[in-house]
Structure 1
Amino acid sequence: MLHKTQGIVLRPVKYGDTSLVVTIFTEQFGIQAYMVKGVRVTGATRNRASYFQPGTLLDMVVYMQHGKNMQLIREYHAAYIYTSVHESVTKNSILMFSAELMLRLLPEHAPLPDLFTAASKYLISLDTADPRHVANYPLWFLALCSRLLGYDPRGSYGPATPYLDREYGGFSAHPPAYPPYTTTEDAFALHQVLLANDHDAIQGIAINSEMRSRLIDWYIAFLQQYTQHLGNIRSLPVLRSVLH
């Protein structure tokens, strides 16, 4: 059966001489794998493979056969054309990190329309934002995905709970006994991030690069407690290098 849906490309993998197997986070069906034939040929159609780069937002008409691990796409075109993401090293690194995070964190075949809508708005905001003000975006996206998947840190920041403890799963009265180690300043910064309800708010939070790196490590370790397949984020070292 044919369905119209939007999608966010998460990972393309070469298949054969001319095709791709593409993992896409779809609005209607969650994460699905699609066979896309003939997009890696030379000549006039060679640019079709560019539609399937990580982070691309698509409007699609897809075949959906329940019980099959591989689906097919009948039609596709860009739902949004990026104007600055691919020209900015910082923005592109954030885009790759965000796409990999969704690939590794989200459950397969589970519709998550609220998260899809939020992720689409986030990626468009990343594209339109001033590149000098996007350093907090990866941390904010970690918190956004966590919240919409139901994995909120326990408690809240305050005089009685000024620490972050991954073993406890949130804000604690005691400093962490195990890594990743964080400071009370880190806990307050994360508190501000969790209160930020839009992209403008996250841009105004003052977090230095060392603090940001510790908080990203803390949030990834926090999420690893809830999903066995998250694993290591391969794009994280590149992200660190550009968010200095």
Structure 2
Amino acid sequence: MLSKNNSIVLSKLKYREYDLIVKCYTEQRGVVSYLLKGVLKSKKGLSKTVYYQALSQLQIEESYKPNQTLHYIKEVKFNYIYKSLHTNIYKSSIVLFLAEILSNVLKEEEKNEGLFEFISVALQYLDNEDQFTNFHLLFLLKLTRYLGFQPENLENEYGYFNLESGIFEATNNGIYSVSGVNLTLLKRLLGINFDTLKTLKITAMQRQEFLNMLLYYFELHLDSFKKPKSLQVLNDVFH
């Protein structure tokens, strides 16, 4: 059955000698993997790989069969053409990092239009923004809402945040309790959107420590979560 599906590229993997497997997060069916046969065999086919860069936003005409693991793409075009996401070294490091995170945490083969729209709109914001050094922090924090472990914000005047339970607390409960600068940043980020993110001024070290805390928070709440291999590159670029 042929149908059209808006998609965001999560990853691509060489398969056999000339094929690619491309994993996408789609608007209509969640995570879908496509087999691109022979795409690496000719110059014409190779030129099509430009569509499948990390987090590209595509409209795909697909041949989808519910009982298959791999599906096929009949036609593809850009749904949104990035101006800077793949050419700006700072933005591209964020893109590779977030693509690895999303590929890791998005597993469901069912639609979630709210999550798809969040990712799509956030990436378009990043593409057009000049001040973006803290973008990935807010993106990950907002992503927790869709993954089911958004920090509880009702009692955020408390002096501690418990990474294990995901709630703010009045007392220190050991190794999972966050306080100090990380707590201040957490409260601040919970209260802003992308359009006001540029008002957040922090040092490279504070950014790195807060990111490490966020990744640990993901580890505690997602059994299969692994720290991204691209984390070191991201830290090096923004150090």
Same fold (TM over 0.5): yes
Which residue is equivalent to 1:157?
156
Greater Cα offset, 162-171 or 59-68: 162-171
Instruction: Using structure 2 for the length normalisation, give the TM-score.
Output: 0.92
Aligned-pair distance for 1:22?
A: 0.6
Within-5 A mapping of 1:8-87? 8-87=8-87
Q: Deviations over 1:130-150 (max 9, x none)?
A: 0xx111111111111101222
Aligned-pair distance for 1:26?
A: 0.5
Within-5 A mapping of 1:126-205? 126-130=126-130, 133-155=131-153, 156-158=155-157, 161-175=158-172, 177-178=174-175, 182-197=178-193, 199-205=194-200
Aligned-pair distance for 1:6?
A: 0.7
Instruction: Using structure 1 for the length normalisation, give the TM-score.
Output: 0.90
Q: Tell me the distance in 2 between the aligned counterparts of 1:224 and 1:195.
A: 23
Aligned-pair distance for 1:121?
A: 0.9
Within-5 A mapping of 1:204-219? 204-219=199-214
Contact 1:11 1:103 (C-alpha < 8 Å) held by counterparts: yes
State the AA in 2 paired with 1:157. Answer: N
Q: Tell me the distance in 2 between the aligned counterparts of 1:65 and 1:30.
A: 14
State the AA in 1 paired with 2:164. Answer: E
Aligned-pair distance for 1:30?
A: 0.4
Aligned-pair distance for 1:108?
A: 2.9
Q: Deviations over 1:90-132 (max 9, x none)?
A: 10011111111111111231312111111011111111110xx
State the AA in 2 paired with 1:195. Answer: G
Q: Tell me the distance in 2 between the aligned counterparts of 1:195 and 1:134.
A: 17
Greater Cα offset, 182-191 or 50-59: 182-191
Contact 2:163 2:178 (C-alpha < 8 Å) held by counterparts: no
Which residue is equivalent to 1:92?
92
Contact 1:40 1:48 (C-alpha < 8 Å) held by counterparts: no
Contact 2:142 2:150 (C-alpha < 8 Å) held by counterparts: no
Aligned-partner SS, 2:72: strand
State the AA in 2 paired with 1:241. Answer: D
Q: Tell me the distance in 2 between the aligned counterparts of 1:135 and 1:175.
A: 31
State the AA in 1 paired with 2:37. Answer: K
Aligned-pair distance for 1:174?
A: 3.2
Greater Cα offset, 24-33 or 106-115: 106-115
Q: Tell me the distance in 2 between the aligned counterparts of 1:73 and 1:43.
A: 18
Q: Tell me the distance in 2 between the aligned counterparts of 1:167 and 1:142.
A: 17
Moved beyond 3 Å, runs of 4+: none
Q: CA RMSD in A?
A: 1.8
Residue ranges of structure 1 left out of the alignment (5+ in a row): none
State the AA in 2 paired with 1:80. Answer: Y
Q: Tell me the distance in 1 between the aligned counterparts of 2:230 and 2:179.
A: 25
Change (3 A) 1:45 1:66: closer
Q: Tell me the distance in 1 between the aligned counterparts of 2:78 and 2:29.
A: 19
Greater Cα offset, 220-229 or 93-102: 220-229
Residue ranges of structure 2 left out of the alignment (5+ in a row): none
Aligned-pair distance for 1:176?
A: 6.0
Q: Tell me the distance in 2 between the aligned counterparts of 1:209 and 1:182.
A: 19
Aligned-pair distance for 1:8?
A: 0.6
Task: Name the % identity.
Answer: 29
